[in-house]
Amino acid sequence: MSDETLANLSHEERRFEPPQDLADHANVTAEAYDEADRDRIAFWEKAAERLSWDTRWDTVLDWDDAPFAKWFVGGKLNVAHNCVDRHVADGKGDKVAFHWVGEPDDDTRDITYGELKDSVCQAANALVDLGVEKGDRVAIYMPMIPETVVAMLACARIGAPHTVVFGGFSSSALRDRIQDCDARVVITADGGYRRGAPAALKPAVDEAVSQCPDVRSVLVVRRTGQDVEWTDGRDVWWHDVVEGASTEHTAEAFESEHPLYVMYTSGTTGKPKGILHTTGGYLVGTSYTHWAVFDLKPETDIFWTAADIGWVTGHSYIVYGPLANGATSVMYEGTPDTPHKGRWWEIIEKYGVTILYCAPTAIRTFMKWGKEIPARADLSSLRLLGSVGEPINPEAYIWYRENIGGNRCPVMDTWWQTETGQLMISPLPGVTAGKPGSAMKALPGISAEVVDDEGEPVGNGRGGYLVLTEPWPAMLRTLWGDDERFKETYWQRFEKQGYYFAGDGAKLDDDGDIWLLGRVDDVMNVSGHRLSTTEIESALVSHPRVAEAAVVGAKDEQTGQAVNAFVILRESALEGGEEAPDDLIKELRDHVAKEIGAIAKPKSILVVPELPKTRSGKIMRRLLKDVAENRDVGDVTTLADSGVMDQISEGISSGK
């Protein structure tokens, strides 16, 4: 990273100390860093005591066969028992596990831990009746309904690793994933609600499964009541086989390293990568970080991860972490603008949500819609905010803090990956003075470093590659069925040092705090200057008229690569429509030059109505690059809304 790029950092002088009251009662104090530094293994061993083990481990970490880790070796436990049964046994059967909110108004359900236990046992019995055995894979292709959680926990309960596939993915994406992990049973629904209308799921399953001859059963939840095709002998209704099953099921304890789930990473081309997570370490890592970073007080907090379960964020922080901690969570089926743009704030007010965890892309969308919308709701129950998925630009951070957090809630910018399973780099709410735009430090027990091409630490004030230097409990164990690719993808780059290569660029500021710069393949080279997409995007978003920005480097004869920007304007900025886009574009280019330097000035800026995003909110810059380089747009199957690319192309042809 050039020093020019780095210099932009020093503009950010704002600091937010932890609220006094939160700090006084925080679950975790600064002492945790010292404790973990003194003995990382003992630190994680203590964290493992949070769970209920059937058999205690003999060895905390076995790293002899690196990079294949084994955590809590010799230990045995059942994940569903830890997430549900033990809370019921502790007298919390009547406590709400989920306030579930369907997309159609007034379509809500509260599910207690007692009810969840009964449903999970019924589903476990039904799966056993369908012939699912320990170790068999089950694919789950569902909307955001309680049965999705029940299905995941039922699989965990009987030791059958699940693979949840986003409900928004196409039938071919589903087929590839079923085939890659050789799932024999698929759990789905007739459909789910999306943007005010039922969206079908079953036809995609029928199509996918027609090319998966080994799938013998498809278990179907009736959610929308729409018509479905039926294959006798293969398809079974959930209400027939689950709801009639016994609520008694004895959970068997599995080895700590027994596979829990496979999650395929989205947005990459080629064969999907099946990230494998296992039992003990994963539950230790997710439950500890959920408790520490969100300062979870299970008796009083109402926790809401506003994300899809088909994303790792949903797995770790809607399902496993919160349930292991006995939390009460909100789970919402639909989109933020159905039936109106204030839906989230209405939900927060209604349930008294205290902790909100969401993606910067959502925050920037709310910025675009205008602060008047959240201002109409009473958000005073909130005490802590979280962000995940992409770097949060300082502007979005401040907007979130002010307009959602009422200037009293600290913002946890959490960096992690499908591969890491658990939060890795984040502030601690009772300890850290937050800086807008920085994810701050590796959490206690986690070792991160920013290194150069040779794997040497770059030191403060410099940029390079983010690496993780020590194993951690919830780390991926391998890629499903492909140990070689696992080694190549994550461990080969810094093999000599034995570091995990995260694939993200990062820099350390003068205090040694970490700033994420996006994927390393998002770094541009303009006339020999290395520029980060994130930084130019942040500069654009800091202009009052810009809500969202995406930047790509497109081939350029003169400069090697040139900066191409795509921007969405804030709605309030459009009111009156006085200014001609041409003037605005000049103004934006000058603004970037002022914020970063003339070298970063975008060659072109295109005003667009939407940006292409995955359902986890990541901008698919690859597609914008296709547009910028005048190529046909590539695979759009992992886009949340595949019509977006048409809108962008139309914008170009109409000369906007």
312 binds ligand 6R9 (CB under 6 A): yes
Backbone angles phi, psi at 477, to 5 degrees: -95, -30
The four Cα atoms 227, 149, 293, 639 give a dihedral, to 10 degrees, of -30
Task: Specify the stretch interacting with ligand 6R9 by CB under 6 A; choose among 21-29, 293-301, 416-424, 586-594.
Answer: 416-424
Q: Establish if 164 lies at the interface with ligand 6R9 (CB under 6 A).
A: no
Rg of the chain in Å (alpha carbons):
24
C-beta of 391 vs 602, nearer to ligand 6R9: 391
289 binds ligand 6R9 (CB under 6 A): no
Among 367, 516, 550, 569, binds ligand 6R9 (CB under 6 A): 516
Does residue 418 touch ligand 6R9 according to CB under 6 A? yes
Residues in contact with 13: Cβ distance below 8 Å, sequence separation at least 6, in sequence order: none
Least separation in angstroms between CB 615 and ligand 6R9: 10
Residue 395 CB, shortest distance to ligand 6R9, in Å, is 15
Residue 126 CA to residue 236 CA, distance in Å, equals: 10
410 near ligand 6R9, judged by CB under 6 A = no
Site string for ligand 6R9, 609-648 (x = CB under 6 A): -------x--------------------------------
Using the contact rule CB under 6 A, the part of the chain among 32-40, 153-161, 366-374, 500-508 near ligand 6R9 is 500-508
Q: Which of 435, 519, 570, 621 binds ligand 6R9 (CB under 6 A)?
A: 519
The span of 29-37, 412-420, 471-479, 648-656 binding ligand 6R9 (CB under 6 A) equals: 412-420
Pairing of strands 70-73, 59-62: antiparallel
Q: How far is the CB of 381 from ligand 6R9 (least distance, A)?
A: 24
Closest CB to ligand 6R9 among 33 and 515? 515
**Contacting ligand 6R9 (CB under 6 A), which of 238, 320, 397, 416?**
416
CA pair distance 395, 384, nearest whole angstrom: 18
- Does residue number 393 form part of the binding site for ligand 6R9 (CB under 6 A)? no
Nearer to ligand 6R9, 265 or 572 (CB): 265
Applying CB under 6 A, the site for ligand 6R9 has a residue count of 20
Say how far apart CA 527 and CA 556 lie, in whole Å: 10
Please measure the distance between the N-terminal and C-terminal CA atoms of the chain and give it in whole angstroms: 33
Q: Give the Cβ contact number of residue 528 at 10 Å.
A: 9
Q: What is the DSSP string of 23-45?
A: HHT-S--THHHHHHHH-HHHHHH
Is 345 annotated among the ligand-binding residues?
A: no
Note whether 262 binds ligand 6R9 by CB under 6 A.
Answer: no
Using alpha carbons, list the distances in angstroms from residue 311 to 163, 389, 616: 11, 10, 6
For residue 305, state whether it binds ligand 6R9 (rule: CB under 6 A): no
- Give the separation between CA 579 and CA 584, rounded to whole angstroms: 7
Question: Which residue stretch of 38-46, 126-134, 193-201, 501-509 sits at the interface with ligand 6R9 (rule: CB under 6 A)?
Answer: 501-509
Please indicate if the annotation marks 359 as binding a ligand.
no
Separation CA 519–CA 627 (nearest Å): 20
Least spacing, CB of residue 490 vs ligand 6R9, in Å: 11
For residues 503 and 491, give the distance between their C-alpha atoms in angstroms, rounded to a whole number. 11
The full DSSP string for 298-341 is: TTT-EEEE-S-TTSHHHIIIIIIHHHHTT-EEEEE-S-TTSS-T
| Residue 439 in the binding site for ligand 6R9 (CB under 6 A) | yes
CB of 469 to ligand 6R9, least distance (A): 17
Q: Is 389 annotated as a binding residue?
A: yes
Q: Phi/psi at 111 (nearest 5 deg)?
A: -115, 120
Q: Does 561 bind ligand 6R9 (CB under 6 A)?
A: no
Stretch that binds ligand 6R9, among 43-51, 79-87, 363-371, 386-394 (CB under 6 A): 386-394
Q: Is 546 annotated as a binding residue?
A: yes
Structure tokens at 167: 């409900």
Residues with Cβ within 8 Å of 511's Cβ and at least 6 positions away in sequence, in order, are 460
The residue among 154 and 284 lying less far from ligand 6R9, judged by its C-beta, is 284
CA 448 to chain centre: 20
* Residue from 305, 393, 414, 538 in contact with ligand 6R9 (CB under 6 A): 414
Q: Which two tokens stand for residue 544?
A: 């009052």
User: Minimum Å distance from CB 363 to ligand 6R9?
Assistant: 12
Is 415 labeled as ligand-binding?
yes
CA angle (32 as vertex; 27, 33 as ends), nearest 5? 140
By beta-carbon proximity to ligand 6R9, the closer residue of 100 and 416 is 416
Of residues 218, 200, 63, the one with CA closest to residue 127:
218
- CB 3 → ligand 6R9: shortest distance, Å? 21
330 is in an annotated binding site: no
Q: Does 415 bind ligand 6R9 (CB under 6 A)?
A: yes
206 is in an annotated binding site: no
Q: Would you list the DSSP string of 358-387?
A: E-HHHHHHHHHH-THHHHTS--TT--EEEE
Question: What is the closest distance, in whole angstroms, from the C-beta atom of residue 312 to ligand 6R9 in the complex?
Answer: 5
Q: How far is the CB of 314 from ligand 6R9 (least distance, A)?
A: 10
Rule CB under 6 A: is residue 417 a binding residue for ligand 6R9? yes
Which residues, in sequence order, are CB contacts of 377 under 8 Å at separation 6+? 342, 345, 346, 348, 349
> Is the bond preceding 339 in cis, omega lying within 30 degrees of 0?
yes
Question: Among residues 139 and 293, whose Cβ is nearest to ligand 6R9?
Answer: 293
- What is the distance between the alpha carbons of residues 656 and 653, in angstroms, rounded to a whole number? 8
With 0-12 CB in 10 A as exposed, 13-18 as middle and 19+ as buried, what is 558?
exposed
Pair type for strands 217-221 and 197-200: unpaired
**Residue 89 carries which DSSP code?**
I
389 binds ligand 6R9 per the rule CB under 6 A: yes
Number of residues in the chain: 656
Return the number of the residue (62 or 308) whose C-beta is nearest ligand 6R9: 308
Residue 533, annotated ligand binder?
Answer: no
Separation CA 133–CA 489 (nearest Å): 31
* Interacting positions 35-64 with ligand 6R9 (CB under 6 A): none
304 is in an annotated binding site: no
Taking the CB of residue 230, how many other CB atoms lie within 10 A of it? 14
Nearer Cβ to ligand 6R9, position 254 or 500? 500
| Closer Cβ to ligand 6R9, 193 or 415, answer by number | 415
CA–CA distances in Å: residue 451 to residues 4, 125, 507, 588: 18, 50, 9, 33
Residue corresponding to tokens 């010799």: 74
Site for ligand 6R9 in 521-550 (CB under 6 A): none
Residue 349 marked ligand-binding: no
Q: Which residues are annotated as a binding site for Mg(2+)?
A: 541, 543, 546
Q: Which residues are annotated as a binding site?
A: 194-197, 313, 389-391, 413-418, 504, 519, 527, 530, 541, 543, 546
Q: Which residues are annotated as a binding site for ATP?
A: 389-391, 413-418, 504, 519, 530
Site residues for ligand 6R9 per CB under 6 A: 265, 312-313, 388-391, 413-418, 439, 502-504, 516, 519, 616
Q: Which residues are annotated as a binding site for CoA?
A: 194-197, 313, 527
